[in-house]
Amino acid sequence: MKSGLLYDFWRAFHKNRLAALAGVILLAIFFLAIFAPVFATHNPTYIRLEQEQIKLPPTAAHFIGTDNLGRDIWSRMLFGARISLLVGFLTMIITVIIGVAYGAVSGYYGGKLDFMMMCFVDILLSLPTIFLVIILAAFFKPDFFGIAAIIGMTSWMRTARLVRGQFLSLKEEEFVMAARALGYSNCRIIFVHLLPNVRALIIINATLLIAQAVLLESALSFLGFGVQPPQFSWGSMLSSAQYIVFLKEAPWTAFFPGLAIFITVLCFNFFGEGLRDAWDPKLKNY
Amino acid sequence: MLKRMLALLLMLVMVVAITASCGQTSKTQTAEPLVWGMHQDIETLNPIFTESANEANILNGIFSTLIKVNSELEFEPYLLEELPVVSQDGLTYQFKLREGVKFHDGVELTAQDVKFTYEMKMAEKNAVPSRLRWERIADFQIKDEHTFYITLKEPDVTWLEGWAYAESMIVPKHILEAEFVQGGNELSKGGLFSRNPIGTGPYKFVEWSANEFVMLEAFADYFRGKPQIEKIVFKVVPDLNTMLARFSNGEIDIYDRVAPDHYEQLLTLQEEGMPIDVHNSPSFMSMNAIFNLRLPVFQDRAVRQALNYAFPKQQFVDVVLNGVATVAHADTPPMSWAYNPNLKQYDHNPEKASQLLEEAGWKLGEDGVRAKDGVRLSFTINTNTGNPVREAFQEIAKQEWEAIGAEVFIQNYEAATLFGDILTNIKFEMIVLGWSAGIDPDSKTLWHSSQQPEQFGAGQNYAGFVNPRIDQLLEAGLQETNQEARMTIYHEIQQILSQEVPYLFICFFNSITAVPANLENFRPNPTLAGNAWNISEWKLN
Amino acid sequence: MGNRYLRRLATLFFSLFVISLLSFALIEFSPGGAMARYVENPNISQADRTRMAERFGLDRPAPLRYFIWLRNTVQGDLGTSFMTGRPVLTEILERLPATLKLMTFSFFVSIIVAIPIGIYSATHRHSLFDHLAATGSFLGLSLPSFWFGLLMIYIFAIWLNWLPSGGMITPWFDPSAYPLLIRPFVIFWEHTRYLLMPAIVLSLSNIGSWSRYMRSSMLDVISQNYIRTARANGVPERKVVYKHALRNALTPLVTLMGLDLPGFFAGAVVTEQIFAWPGMGRLFISAAGNRDYQVLMGIIMITAVLVLLGNLLADLMYRFLDPRVNYEG
C-alpha cells in the first residue's frame, strides 16, 4: 500500500510544475543554508567600521554589497537563512507536537472531554495572535528559541482543530473498530492506526506553518521583538535596514532580505499546495 | 449591464473627487498650519502631570514658565520681571511677576496661580511623577499680587533651573481649583483640564485628536504680542521612516530629533533644492555603558580602562552615528560651563589595552579568554531591544573586546523588563543606557556612594561606584555658590571619572532638526525645554 | 431554538471569563512593572516611584486587583489608564472607530477582490487567469506585510506623490471649501485616500487565502450531482454558477472568514505602526510596553467580544446560506 500511494503522489506532484519548481528552490535554499560556511565569502559578523567599507553597492568582492556596519550582506544572507529556517522549523515542530497531541486526544476520546478541549481552543483562537505574542515577548529572552516558542504557542490551535476533525471522522471507520475488537490499547490505536492516516494532513499543514512562521518572525523583528544580536535572521536584517529603505544610497540592504523571505515563503506555500493537490484533493482545510 | 453602469459611475466619482482635492497637497502658504512631527502620542496637556519631552514642546506653546533657559544656556526671565533674587543664606528666593499677563480666557496671572501650581504638585492624592524639586520648598509666602517668596529647606544651587522646564509651567487657579475640589481633592491626569488646557502661552489650545494631532492657534492677547504664525499642528508619526517620508513630501514641516541615519538624507534633500534648514547642535543627551562594579571582573580598574582603549569611540561616532555626536570622556557635556577639556582620553588602541591587561595579571587562557585569580574576563552586555544604535555598540564591542581576550555575550530585554527588573534589581553585568544631563553639572545621583538604589532606596548610582574623594567633591559642589570654585570642583570630578571609568562613556548626541528654510528664529535648545522653547518668536517669511 | 442561543451566550461569557483570567495572569507575571517607564528619568526618584505605585493601587495583591477589575468591568467600568489618567473605555473608544474603519474597509476590499477571482478561477480552471490568480494569491500570502507597506509608501507617497504616507485625515481639511455638488465626493475621496494603502496592505494575505479557498470550494460544489442536473435541465450557465453553486460554495468560506477575524486585528497592529494609523494596535503596543494592565485587559476584552460576536454572525450567515444546516447544535 505504501509504495502505491507514494507512486501516485509522485506522479501527481510531478505534473504540478510550479510546486516541483518550488520544491527545488527550497532544496537549494536549504543547501545554501547548511553549507553556508562554504558559500560565504566573508565572516558574516565581521564589522568594518570605516566609511569606505559601509553601505557598499554590489561588487565582485561583495556580491550584495555591505550593510551599515560594513558586514558582507551575501554572507549574512547565507547564515541568516539558518536562523530564519531554524525558527520556522522549530516553530513548526512545537506547533505540530502540541497541536497533534491535543487534537488527537480530543478527537479520539470525543464527548465531554472533546467539548471542553475545543472550547479552550476556541477561546484561544478568538484572541488575535499578535496580542498574545506581544505580551509573551516580555517573558522570553529574545533568542531564536524564545521566538519559536512564542510563535509556536500561539499557532498550535488550528492544527489541533484539524487533527481533531480528522480523528472524529476516522475513529468511526471499520479498521478502528476492528482494532478495538482485537483489544489494542487506545494508545496503540492512536499512534499505530490513526496517526499515519492523518500523516498527509499534518505534513501539508506543517509546510504551510513554516511559511507562516518565517513571515511572523520578520514581523516580530519589525516590532522590535525579534532575534537579538549577535544572532541575525532575514527578518532582523530587514528590520534593521528599514532605516535605509528610503535611502537612495543603499536600497539593497533592505531589498534582498525581504526578497529572500518572500521567495522562501512563496515556495513553501506553492510546495504545500502542491502536496495537498497531489495527496488528496478533497483535503481543503488549511 | 447594471454592473457596467455601476463601475462607470464609480470611476466618474473617483475622477471628480481626485481632481477636486488635488490642489490640497501644496504647503507653503501662511493660511496652512505649520506642522511639527511628534514621535509618540502625548499623554496629557496638564503640566502638573507631565514628564515627557514630547509634551514639553506642545506645552511650550500653551503655557509659560517663570524663567526660560535659552540656547546659550542662560536664564532669562519670562513670566518674571527679572531673575529671582536670592538671600544671603541661599535659602529664600524673591520672585517678581510681570504685570498684565493674561490667561487665554482673559483672567490675569497672579502669584496665587504660582502658589496654586505648587500646591497641586504637592497635593497628596495627585499622581505627580516627580516631586523632587517641590519637596525642597519649605515655605511659600505671597507678599502681593505679583510678588512672592519661596524658602527652601536647604540651600540648593540646582533648584532654580527646574523653573524653566515644562513641569513648572503655571496653571490657572481659577479653573483648576474647581476641578481639584470636585474630584475630591484630587486632580486626574486625564481630567477635563488636561484635554482642554488654558495657559498664558503664545498659543491657544484648539483640538486634540487622540493619537493623531494637537492643533494650536495664536493667542491675540499674548503678553509679548500675538505670534506671527497663526496655526501650529503637532502630528503624531510613530515610525521614523514614515516621518522622513512625510517630511520629504511636505506633509510635515518640522522634523525634530532626527535619527542619525536620516541626517545625510536630509542634507541630500537640501542639496537637491528642497527649501529646508538642517540644524545640527550639541545636546545634553549621552549614551554610556555602565559597569556593574559589584562584579569581580569589573572591580579591576585595568579591565575597565582596557575595555575603553579597545573600543573605537571615534569611529563609532563617525560611522554608526554619521558624525552627529561627540566622543565623551566623562559625564559632563562639552557645552556645559563646567566642562573639563583636559581629560584622559581613550583613543582606540587595542595593543595598549592588551598590554594593560597583561600587566595587571590577566593572562590568556587556553580557551583564548583572559583570567586572573580564577576570574575569567567574561561578561554580558545588556540593553533594550529595538534600538539599532545600542545594538551596533554591542556588536562592535563584542568584536573588539574578543580580540583582546575577553568573552562577551549579548543579552537584550524588552524595555519595561530591562528598566523595571534588570536595571532596578541590579541584575545586569554591563548595561548600555542613555542619560540626559541638566544645565547644572551636579551629578550626585550618579556617583555618590549614598545613591546606590539597592542599598539606600534612592539615587541612580546603578554602577555601584564608591569613591570617598568623589563623595567629598560632590557634596562640596552642591554647597559652593561661587561659580569659579564650583568649576574647579567639577573639573576634578570629571578628572577622577575619566581615570576610574565607572562607565564606558561613549558619546554625547547632537540634536538635529530639519525645518523649512523660511522659518525664522528657530533656535535649537539642548535642555529639557525642548526646541520649541521660543515658539512665540517663530516667523514664516 | 432559544435554548441553543442561550447556551451559545453562556459559552460566550465563559470564554470571556477564561480569556480575562489568562490575560491577567500573563500580564501580571511579566517582569518589569508599570513603574519601569520612570526609571530612566533623572528627575523621578525611587520614592516617587513607590508613591506612584501606591497611588495606582499596584501594591495590592494580584488576586485582589483582578477581582476589583472583574467587578468593575461587569458593571461597565473598565478602569483607568496609568499612562493618561483617563478611563480605559474612553481611550479605546477613541481609537476603536479608526481600527474598525480600517478593518471593515479592508474586509470589504478582500471580499470584493477575492470572491470574483475565486469564482472566475474555478469556472475557468487551468486557464491563464487561473494560473496568474494562483501566483498572485501566493504572492499576497507570502509578502512580509511591513516590507510591502514601506515599499508602497516609497512608491506611491514619495516617488509618485499620489497618496499620503500616513495618518487618517488631514487635520485642517475643510469640506466647506468645496461647492455643495461635489462635496460628498471630495469627502469620500479624502477619507479613502488615507485608507487605501493601509487597507491594501492589510487585505493582501486575506485576498490570497480567501480567493484560493473560494476557488477550491467552488470546484467542489461544481462537481456535485445537483449542478450537473441543473445543467442537464437546461438552466443557463450563469444561473447555475451564481444561483446554485455560489450559495453553497460560500458557506465554508464564511466559516473561514469568521476564523480569520482575529487576524485582522493582528495585521492591523503592524499596519497601524507603518501608516501612523491612530487605532487600537498602537495603543496595545504602548500599553504593553508600559505594563498598563487595565488598558491591555480592556483591549483584549473588547477585541474578544468583537471576534466572538463576529463568529456568531458568521454562524447566522452560515445558517442563512445553507438551509440544511438547521439542526446543528
Every domain of chain B and the residues it spans: 285-510
Say if residues A67 and A76 touch (Cβ distance below 8 Å).
yes
**Yes or no, beta carbons of C146 and A215 under 8 Å apart:** no
Please determine, for residue B417, whether its predicted confidence score (pLDDT) is greater than 80.
Answer: yes
Residue pLDDT, tens place only, A133-172: 888 877 777 777 888 888 888 888 888 888 888 888 777 7
> C1 to chain A, minimum CA–CA distance in Å?
20
Q: What is the pLDDT of residues C51-95, one digit of tens each?
A: 888 888 888 888 999 999 999 998 988 888 888 888 999 888 888
The minimal CB distance from B319 to the residues A49, A142, A228 is found for A49
Q: What is the DSSP string of B27-49?
A: --STTSPEEEEESS----S-TTT
Residue B385's pLDDT is 85
The whole-angstrom distance between B371's CA and the closest CA on chain C is: 34
Hey, are the CB atoms on C42 and B459 less than 8 Å from each other?
Answer: no
pLDDT (0 to 100) of residue B30: 46
Task: For Cα atoms A214, A106, A206, give the angle at the middle one, nearest 5 degrees.
Answer: 20
Q: Categorize the per-residue pLDDT at B58 as very low, low, confident or very high, splitting at 50, 70 and 90.
A: very high
B410 three-class SS: strand
Angle made by CA atoms A142, A143, A149, in degrees to the nearest 5? 85
Mean pLDDT of chain B: 88
Query: Looking at beta carbons, which residues of chain A come within 8 Å of B392?
Result: 68-69
Residues A258 and A246: beta-carbon distance below 8 Å? no
User: Which of A50-64, C37-51, C169-183 has the weakest average pLDDT?
Assistant: C169-183
For an interface test with A, which of C26, C138, C152, C158 has the most A Cβ atoms less than 10 Å from its Cβ? C138
A46 contact B CB<8A: yes
Residue C279 makes CB contacts below 8 A (sequence gap 6+) with B211, C95, C96, C98, C99, C102, C268, C272
Q: What is the mean pLDDT of residues B416-440?
A: 90
| Least CB–CB distance from C36: residue in B233, B416, B445 | B416
Which residues of chain A have a CB within 8 Å of the CB of C251? none
CB contact under 8 A, C266 and A211: no
Per-residue confidence band for B11, with pLDDT thresholds at 50, 70 and 90: low
- In angstroms, rounded to a whole number, what is the distance separating the alpha carbons of residues A92 and A90? 5
Q: Does domain B285-510 have CATH number 1.25.40.10?
A: no
Q: Are residues A69 and B320, on separate chains, in Cβ contact within 8 Å?
A: yes
Distance CA A85, CA A89 (A): 6
Nearest to B411 by CA among A48, A227, A151, A221: A227
Report the neighbours of A using a cutoff of 3 or more CB pairs below 8 angstroms.
Answer: B, C
Cα separation values, B456 from A33, A268, B296, C45, Å: 52, 57, 22, 12
By CB neighbour count within 10 A (0-12 exposed, 13-18 middle, 19+ buried), where does B384 fall? buried
Q: Has residue B24 got a pLDDT over 50?
A: no
**Interface contact A128, partner C, CB < 8 A:** yes
- Grid coordinates representing C153 are 509608501
For residues B119 and B113, is the Cβ–Cβ distance under 8 A? no
Q: Is B235 helix (H, G, I), strand (E, B) or coil?
A: strand
Q: Which of C257, C273, C216, C137 is nearest to A265 (CA)?
A: C137
Q: What is the mean pLDDT of each run of 10 residues along chain A (286 residues)?
A: 60 73 90 89 87 82 85 90 90 92 85 85 80 79 80 86 82 79 80 78 85 85 80 84 59 82 88 77 46
- In angstroms, the separation between the Cα of residue B315 and the nearest Cα of chain A is 6
Nearest CA in chain A to B258: A243
- pLDDT tens by residue, B106-122: 999 999 999 999 999 99
* Grid cell at residue B115: 502658589
Residue in chain C closest to A116 (alpha carbons) equals: C11
C53 phi, psi to nearest 5 deg: -60, -45
What whole-number percentage of chain C has pLDDT above 90?
5
Q: Is the peptide bond before A257 cis (omega within 30 degrees of 0)?
A: no
A50: chain B residues, CB-CB within 8 Å: 315, 319
Query: Average pLDDT in the B201-218 region?
Result: 90
d(CA A207, CA A266): 11
Pairing of β B325-327 and β B75-77: unpaired
Residue A258 forms contact with B (CB below 8 Å): no
Set out the domains of chain A in order of their start, with CATH numbers: 3-30+74-285 (1.10.3720.10)
**Chain A residue numbers touching C30 (CB-CB < 8 A):** 135, 138-139
Specify the pLDDT at position A6.
66
Whether the CB of A41 is below 8 Å from some CB of chain B: the reply is: no
Instruction: State how far residue C271 is from chain B, nearest Cα, in angstroms.
Output: 11
Please list the alpha-helical segments (H only) found in C167-279. 183-222, 225-232, 237-239, 246-274
Identify the top-confidence range among A258-262, B242-246, C186-190: A258-262
Residue B315's pLDDT is 92
Could you report the per-residue pLDDT of B340-385, keeping only the tens digit for each? 999 999 999 999 999 999 999 999 988 889 999 889 999 999 998 8
Of A122, A150, A258, A271, give the one whose Cα is nearest residue A206.
Answer: A271
Q: Which of B323-337, B382-396, C178-192, C238-252 has the lowest mean pLDDT?
A: C238-252
CA of C176 vs chain A CAs: smallest distance (Å): 36
Residues from chain C that touch A165, judged by Cβ atoms under 8 A, are none
Residue A51 has its nearest CB partner, among B262, B319, B413, at B319
Query: Please, which pLDDT band fits residue C324 given cuts at 50, 70 and 90?
Result: low
In whole angstroms, give the CA distance from residue B370 to residue B379: 12
Contact B399 A242 (CB under 8 A): no
Chain A residues whose CB is inside 8 A of the B416 CB are 138
- Give the whole-angstrom CA distance, residue C276 versus residue B139: 47
Mean pLDDT for the stretch of residues C155-173:
74
Region of B134 on the Ramachandran plot (φ > 0 left; ψ -120 to 50 alpha; else beta): alpha
- Residue B420, burial from CB neighbour count under 10 angstroms (0-12, 13-18, 19+): buried
pLDDT at B17 over 60: no
The pLDDT of residue B220? 92
Q: What pLDDT is recorded for position B289?
A: 95
- pLDDT value at C327 more than 50: no
At residue B110, the pLDDT reads 92
Q: Would the CB atoms of A229 and B261 count as touching at under 8 Å?
A: no
pTM above 0.90, yes or no: no
